[in-house]
Amino acid sequence: MTDTKTWARVKSPWVLHFNSGACNGCDIEIVALLTPKYDVERFGVKLEPSPRHADVLLVTGCVTQQCAERLKRVYDQMPQPKFVVAIGACACSGGVFEGNYNVLGGVDKVIPVTAYIPGCPPRPEAILDGVVKLLNALNPPKPKKEPKQAKQPELPKEEAKPEVAKPEAAITQTAQQVVEEVKPIVKQ
């Protein structure tokens, strides 16, 4: 039963995108993720309009003083279990806006963050990698399968070297033979 629940949650993460004061760079990368080129719908990721429907909150940009209260409210409206992904350097720590008079800092100053994806802006692949790592964290490792994976077949490293060296030896031998064959002709 728990397995089915986890499977369903991993296969269908619905995301809500919230801009808490970003320059739109990270937002464009998220849009690139949702549109045909990267098409995250194949992993079951859907952009939802309402925080009530979402599982994952994607926050971009540093949190401004004005936005902090709204961000908290959006987070509170989401149903459990919920995850927050901070996308971009600004969302992770405040970035270049750290210490500005109207900026509070990173997202983790306001709400708990599950995954940080740094970059200015992070590439869509990086965002996807972050989301996959977050979802894999939901799947606890199964103890029964670990011993089987531990037995790694040994690579035949020593045997590989002579195989590479053989052709060279063959070439040098033939070259010596050629030289020996040529010598008598030169003498004549």
Partner 1 sequence: MIDFTLIFRILVFPGFTFILLFTLFCDWVERKIEARIQNRVGPMVAGPGGILQPLADFIKLLTKEDIEPRDAKKTIFKFAPLLAFTIMVFAFCFIPVDGTSVFSTTGFSGDLIIILAFATVANFLLFLAGWASCNPYGTIGSARVLTQFLGYDIPLFLIALTPAFIAGSLQIATIASDQAGKFLPFILMAPWAFVLFVITMQAELEKDPFDVPHSESELVGGLETEFTGAKLAFLHLTRDVQVVFGSALVVELFLGGPYGPVIFGPSWIWYTLWFVLKVLAVVLISEYITTVVARFRIDQVLSGNWRILLPAALLSLMLTVALVTWVYPLLV
Looking at residue 52, what DSSP letter applies? G
Nearer to partner 1, 34 or 126 (CB): 34
Give how many residues touch partner 1 by CB under 8 A: 23
How far is Cα 65 from Cα 84, in angstroms, rounded to an integer?
Answer: 19
Site residues (CB under 8 A) for partner 1, limited to 70-129:
77, 79-81
Q: Which stretch binds partner 1 (CB under 8 A): 47-55, 59-67, 111-119, 160-168?
A: 47-55
39 sits near partner 1 (criterion: CB under 8 A): yes
H helices present in 21-113, as ranges: 25-34, 65-77, 89-93
Taken as a whole, the chain contains a residue count of 188
8 sits near partner 1 (criterion: CB under 8 A): yes
Nearer to partner 1, 11 or 183 (CB): 11
Q: Kind of pairing, strands 46-47 and 63-64?
A: unpaired
Quick check: helix, strand or coil at residue 186? helix
140 sits near partner 1 (criterion: CB under 8 A): no
Instruction: Provide the minimum distance between the beta carbon of 80 and partner 1 in the complex, in angstroms, as a whole number.
Output: 4
How far is Cα 177 from Cα 184, in angstroms, rounded to an integer?
Answer: 12
27 sits near partner 1 (criterion: CB under 8 A): no
Nearer to partner 1, 8 or 179 (CB): 8
Q: Kind of pairing, strands 103-105 and 46-47?
A: unpaired
Site residues (CB under 8 A) for partner 1, limited to 48-77:
48-50, 52-53, 55, 77
Count Cα atoms within 13 angstroms, Cβ side, for 86: 25
Residue numbers at the binding site for partner 1 (CB under 8 A): 4-5, 7-9, 11-12, 36, 39, 41-44, 48-50, 52-53, 55, 77, 79-81
